[in-house]
Amino acid sequence: MRIFLLGGTKDSTNIIKHVKENYDAYILTTTTTEYGSRLAREAGSDDTIARPLLKDEIIEILKNEDFDILIDATHPFAEHITQTSSSIARELKMPYIRFERPTTNLENMDTSHIHYAESFEDAGKLIAEEFLEGNVLHFAGANTMADITKYVGVDRFYPRILKVESSIEKCNALNIDPDHIIAMTGAATKQENIDLIEKYDASVMITKESGEIGGVYEKIEAANEMDIALIMIKRPKIEMLNKDDVVNDLDEFDSKIKSFIK
């Protein structure tokens, strides 16, 4: 079985390990960064591509290298690539799986410090209108910073990013002070979040609704304990995505894979 995997997430490395342990498969994983590519190789991916791919490039690889299954395990907020990958699968009439981590279950949590926003621009406007004191911790990636800094001064903006060249360049383009850049990898613990809130005198944290694997619970708990606001960006709804193509855990993933290889 030859698998083309759109990765760059913890979900995707879990899938690589699972497939390699349970199936006879070759996996080519694509990520947008060399860091993501390294993690994919460490998880067991046979080969990787460490840069964003255009739709035509993906189609050419799938056709020329005779892949059997296209798996999209990108981030829930990477809506463009999910729309693109699902359209490619339909176009090529090939098996397709969208692995999407479950939404965050907040039923038993104190949500009093959460403020929901539909977009990062809306989050920036909310901060400019309601949270004028204290600093802003941005835990939502380098690609979304500009939507916040349209409305929030960079003097109070502290982004947590991967320390890779592309992310540093985005910070430089926005004139973000290097001392404000928080270079970290992986989801932070509750205590690490608390330490950052204290160190940078933050009154607001920004996060995506990225599920348990994205460390959302730890951010909520830290915001509650430190009595600061947590602005949570709602997940986008992916248009044109067939719900039958979506799986939320490895058991559902196995059922889907087995339906393809019968």
pLDDT tens digits along 40-80: 999 999 999 999 899 999 999 999 999 999 999 998 777 88
Q: How far apart are alpha carbons 96 and 87 in whole angstroms?
A: 10
Q: Domains plus CATH for the chain?
A: 2-102+237-261 (3.40.50.1980), 114-233 (3.40.50)
Task: Give the CA distances from residue 170 to residues 7, 65, 100, 202, in Å, rounded to whole numbers and listed in that order.
Answer: 22, 34, 27, 22
What is the pTM for the complete model shown? 0.76
At 160-209, the pLDDT tens digits run 988 788 888 999 999 999 999 998 777 788 999 999 999 999 999 999 88
